[in-house]
Amino acid sequence: MTRVNGIVITDQQEVKVVVLSQDEHLAGVWQIYANNSFNRMASLPPTASPNGMAHDGRGNLYIADDLLGCIWRVVPGASKAEVWSTNALLARNTTPGTTPYGADGIKVFHEIVYVSNPSQSIIVRIPIQPQGRPGIPKIQFQGSAFANSDDFAFDIRGNLYIANILDQTIIRVDPTGHVFQLLDQSNGFNNPTAVAFGGAGKDRFNLYITNGAFNPQYPEGSLQRKTLGMPGYSIP
d(CA 47, CA 19): 12
d(CA 50, CA 29): 10
pLDDT more than 70, % of the chain: 96
- CA–CA distances in Å: residue 119 to residues 53, 103, 185: 18, 9, 22
Q: Is the pLDDT of residue 224 over 80?
A: yes
pLDDT tier, 100 (very low <50, low <70, confident <90, very high otherwise): confident
How far is Cα 71 from Cα 87, in angstroms, rounded to an integer? 9
Write the pLDDT tens digit of every residue in 183-214. Answer: 988 888 888 889 999 988 999 999 999 888 77
Q: For 120-137, what is the mean pLDDT?
A: 97
Please, what is the average pLDDT of the chain?
Answer: 92
Burial tier of 175 (Cβ tally within 10 Å: 0-12, 13-18, 19+): exposed
What's the rounded mean pLDDT across residues 24-52?
95
pLDDT tier at 218 (50, 70, 90 boundaries)? low
DSSP the chain: -EEEEEEEE-TT--EEEEEEESSTTT-EEEEE-TTS-EEEEEE--TT--EEEEEE-TTS-EEEEETTTTEEEEE-TT-SB-EEEEE-GGGS---STTS-S--S--EEEETTEEEEEETTTTEEEEEEB-TTS-B---EEEEESGGGTTEEEEEEBTT--EEEEETTTTEEEEE-TT--EEEEE-GGG--SSEEEEEE-SSGGGGGEEEEEE---STTS---EEEEEE-SSPBP---
CATH entry, 1-103+120-147, from 2.40.110.10, 1.20.120.1200, 3.40.50.300, 2.120.10.30: 2.120.10.30
Structural domain boundaries in the chain: 1-103+120-147, 151-236
- Residue 56 has a pLDDT of 95
Mean pLDDT over 51-55 rounds to 95
Q: Is residue 220 pLDDT above 80, yes or no?
A: no
Residue 198 CA: distances (Å) to CA of 29, 41, 152, 154: 23, 25, 13, 12
